[in-house]
Structure 1
């Protein structure tokens, strides 16, 4: 401990003796915690955000938001706004953001501003994402060059406000089951867009409720009474000047939600809406003037725009989990409780709950950049080498489907652990936890519970296993299956020393063994069934979902190891390798510890080995706990961005919290209902 902090401790002791009001220990506690860092916090911040340049641009972006009255929320947070007020505030932020886009000449700073605003306002983040990514990328992936050129400038400049109409009242991820129809009329050379049933209503469509002027709608294409498959169509929803719905379009808002009330999720019904034939997105499938349907040689391409949407959950996890964990860790180190007034973060039940969450956030941050960079490279191939683009789709589709499901579920677990760690304070909107839970739920489960997605990953894994069984080689995320014969020849773990568990390659091998064993067992079960294919699949559904989860988590661990190796080539990041390795080891041990019952089913571990794993898990949690404040500080979320007084950087959390309560509307006023009800008692 530094001489300065020793002096502060002594001063605090004296003050407590002579004052009737115990002094707050938070500032001293957090200062002491920050001295425990074994790494350079600034360098870790650069690594977390990808580079020194972007991390510094992000801090500049935070300042822009804080200083710009059009970008920041009045009072610093949106918690006291009504839904209409939050809607207006969000659109005001977007309007200002587009103005700044034209004035900021530094593209890196503008990119950082978009990221920063996405963290500051979840509703802003989703509205901009729907238009600038889902709508724009739809034209890039599905539209012809002519269609892209005709629309893209209006989209990126918000002259057209777009939405993405996929999910229906009775359908979500199962695109073949969607009911909205696009029927070709030969006489007029038009498509008629129609919602034939109640369950065909497009629903939970971001910005469809109030603001979207156009949509990209996926519909069943019908020509001469014959279904030709699903395709994407451009449909105008509202007049761009008046905001009134177009003829044949009925749309409304879904109303109150758990979170993200600044975005107008809505529902849409089409009643024989006519659009030109050229409003069909025709990069892959086409309908010519004669009404001939020319199908895509690669039907699965219709899912490709969803890959980026699914991967965006990873970025959301970094922001959402990072912010709530910063709040929870700081509060856990400030809050004192018990006979000896100990920091609650020192209780084993507390830090064991939170430290795997901190470790996972670092793992996800590293792999997110890697996988998104890979996807961006693949998307470029859609313009230059379509066959090569198609060749990458099955693997990246399986990865994105599995990761969206697995990380969505894990994010929910992180938020729940944080909620419990904060006690009753988590239920105060002003501490940011409840809002984060609502926001995360809205964005990650809008299309269902993700069980359909994770089964797509399991199906891909099983298909790859079948190829290997027939002597073929597989590549990408399933390449490990090429060695499955050797892997499954080992029936018992060789774990004999705790130090082995600190080797990431060793823990990856154990997790790979489990993944291979489960795919082997499930493949045999499916093949031996005498029931129909669908019945057999359903009878094994729980195990298939778990297989998809194992595959996805194995991928995160494998990619993280590659990411650490890349860091070792950077002089600024070399010093971070020990702590990054420890964080990765905790994540790996957490995965293994969480799956012990699966290992034990196969008798892979002995009782002694299980004890060793559990002991190592507790030990790593305790070691990471010592550096939890420097670790969350490294993420760089300022007080202004966190919007949570109990997560203040300086540790003076109780003063800040009470000041926030006092500033709330009508905090100490006489309620309107006093005269009518209370007085009469």
Structure 2
């Protein structure tokens, strides 16, 4: 058990602060009262909006005092304190606002804004989403016009207002935001700026700034999601982050690369990669709450209980698969950053991989978290009571499908990639490349059945066949005279998204296998990996049979999940998975004894 738990922790935790985290765990065990800010009160999520926000703010202030006292000057611990305790939307100050500056700013800019942030002199939000533009960055309407060694920022119409960013409603004194930028009459594309919005001590909005909380919403009741309108707000020229694109005092624009805007975007993918783990942690926590509420009932064999065990098992396996596979994507992102610094010729290829993998995995992890929380309410005896916490968690999880890009839009970007890959290969002189390169193994085969000794081969054939058929349908629609818009939006959009999702699940399975291979095998990890593959095959068995990848009998034999367990040890394995991560919400290093968690008293 400890080996598996340590394996997951090593993936989730920031390596540079492990010793500090261990210190806080030890101190918490000695004196829980003094370190009560580490563990959120579950009942706290049911407080009203004002009480919940005040309570979160008080805990945040207490934590800052403790960090300054025990670890003065430890900026790594400050920036990754979300791994220490529940931050709420304050998380975005450290994991969205500051990292954007660190990735897009010059060394001088990074030092300036880091010093202010680490000393708690400013607090920041990340404001990209507008009322009329969420996932479509190129459609943003906020403007920045260069004038007299400064920029004038405007949100010229209602649809240009920044809307939804966390911390913007109450907490933030500054915001990084994206705006379409004009210098000496020339459009230089979307650039990123640091914009002061409130006076740091009084939190009074600055001149020309219309900012506030958007009000009650579904989920995240303690989060101060906000809106931001700007009218002729003048900021210093150096408030534009200039790592890749520079504007001097005269308005001369220089770029370090023709791909400057693309690299700027790529540097911000860190947040999307991180969200995969956040969503998966929420999914595991939700599953644990449901499991330990229903666990006493599962010892009795019945059709209903077997169905509950099956659903819990699938959810645990999928959440762990996402976390383990995402370790590979985090390594890709690190490689992208290193290649960028070294001007490596492979940087564009790595950037495309990070973009596609993170888009697929963020979308799938978001959908899975929502599915898990919805099923958890159905599974737990009191799941639809607020006292179970599951209703509140469900409301928190629902918006996951839109964070850092709407899931359907992100999956259509994968669909575009697949169309380009099949279009390139259809000429006969090219091969599939990148994450689709495994398709090359199956281009010359015709309905050859897969070896069921190799689950990866089954899933690869399934993904290739489904994607190939979907692309052929799209191309036939064009041949028959339909426009690209009609072929895409009306005739094939649903199937293109389905193909991309199946492609994404297959990639998670493959990346999980690669991570296990690189970090050392264990029977438990191999079992989770195999179960993940079996669940995918089971859920797509009709498609597998229709494409001739296997016949009904083969799929029926393979997809029998019970064969992977002897006797009644499915419950033992559920216990193993439930204790593999002992967190309450985001505190993923604190070991909670779920058996002793007195849920009955609260119900």
TM-score, normalised relative to structure 1:
0.78
- Say whether the 8 Å CA contact 1:127–1:207 is kept in structure 2: yes
Specify which of 341, 351, 365 is matched with residue 393 of structure 1. 351
- Say whether the 8 Å CA contact 2:164–2:227 is kept in structure 1: yes
- From the superposition, tell whether residues 459 and 250 of structure 1 become closer, same or farther in structure 2 (CA, over 3 Å): same
Specify which of 537, 540, 546 is matched with residue 488 of structure 2. 537
SS in 2 for 1:457: helix
Q: Deviations over 1:565-599 (max 9, x none)?
A: 2343xxxxx5xx22322221211111122223433
- Are 2:262 and 1:318 equivalent residues in the alignment? no
- Are 2:462 and 1:514 equivalent residues in the alignment? yes
SS in 1 for 2:164: strand
- Are 2:189 and 1:229 equivalent residues in the alignment? yes
Specify which of 561, 568, 572 is matched with residue 617 of structure 1. 561
Counterparts of 1:287 and 1:216, CA distance in 2: 18
- Are 2:162 and 1:202 equivalent residues in the alignment? yes
Mapping for residues 485-500 of structure 1, pairs under 5 Å = 485-486=443-444, 489-494=445-450, 500=452
Specify which of 511, 516, 525 is matched with residue 564 of structure 1. 516
SS in 2 for 1:50: helix
- Are 2:61 and 1:95 equivalent residues in the alignment? yes
Q: Which has the higher contact order (CA 8 A, sep 6+)?
A: 1
Cα shift at 1:659: 3.5
SS in 2 for 1:650: helix
- Say whether the 8 Å CA contact 1:57–1:112 is kept in structure 2: no
1:174 maps to which residue?
A: 136
- Say whether the 8 Å CA contact 1:57–1:109 is kept in structure 2: no
Specify which of 136, 145, 148 is matched with residue 183 of structure 1. 145
Between stretches 376-385 and 431-440, larger displacement belongs to 376-385
Kindly report the root-mean-square deviation, in angstroms, between the aligned alpha carbons of the 2 structures. 3.2
Q: Deviations over 1:207-233 (max 9, x none)?
A: 110111111111111245553321111
Cα shift at 1:445: 2.5
Cα shift at 1:308: 1.5
Cα shift at 1:535: 3.0
Q: Name structure 2 gaps, 5 residues minimum.
A: none
Counterparts of 1:641 and 1:243, CA distance in 2: 29
- Say whether the 8 Å CA contact 2:290–2:383 is kept in structure 1: no
Q: Deviations over 1:248-286 (max 9, x none)?
A: 110111212332222211010111111122222222223
Count residues in correspondence. Answer: 584
Cα shift at 1:202: 0.5
- From the superposition, tell whether residues 466 and 100 of structure 1 become closer, same or farther in structure 2 (CA, over 3 Å): farther
Specify which of 651, 660, 675 is matched with residue 602 of structure 2. 660
Cα shift at 1:100: 3.3
- Are 2:423 and 1:461 equivalent residues in the alignment? no
SS in 1 for 2:337: helix
- Say whether the 8 Å CA contact 2:377–2:390 is kept in structure 1: yes
Between stretches 628-637 and 595-604, larger displacement belongs to 595-604
SS in 2 for 1:282: coil
Which structure is larger by alpha-carbon Rg, 1 or 2? 1
Q: Name structure 1 gaps, 5 residues minimum.
A: 1-40, 569-573, 662-681
- Say whether the 8 Å CA contact 2:325–2:511 is kept in structure 1: yes
Q: Deviations over 1:23-59 (max 9, x none)?
A: xxxxxxxxxxxxxxxxxx1222112212899989756
- Are 2:208 and 1:248 equivalent residues in the alignment? yes
SS in 1 for 2:55: helix
2:499 maps to which residue?
A: 547
Specify which of 352, 356, 378 is matched with residue 314 of structure 2. 356
Cα shift at 1:544: 1.4
Counterparts of 2:586 and 2:334, CA distance in 1: 32
- Are 2:414 and 1:451 equivalent residues in the alignment? no
Mapping for residues 9-158 of structure 1, pairs under 5 Å = 41-50=1-10, 61-62=24-25, 64=27, 66-68=32-34, 71=37, 77-105=43-71, 110=77, 114-118=81-85, 121=86, 124-128=87-91, 130-158=92-120
2:474 maps to which residue?
A: 526
Specify which of 317, 323, 346 is matched with residue 365 of structure 1. 323
Between stretches 146-155 and 163-172, larger displacement belongs to 146-155
- Say whether the 8 Å CA contact 1:468–1:482 is kept in structure 2: no
2:581 maps to which residue?
A: 635
1:374 maps to which residue?
A: 332
- Are 2:111 and 1:163 equivalent residues in the alignment? no
1:586 maps to which residue?
A: 531
- Say whether the 8 Å CA contact 1:367–1:556 is kept in structure 2: yes
Between stretches 93-102 and 379-388, larger displacement belongs to 379-388
Between stretches 442-451 and 226-235, larger displacement belongs to 442-451
1:269 maps to which residue?
A: 229
SS in 2 for 1:267: strand
1:297 maps to which residue?
A: 258
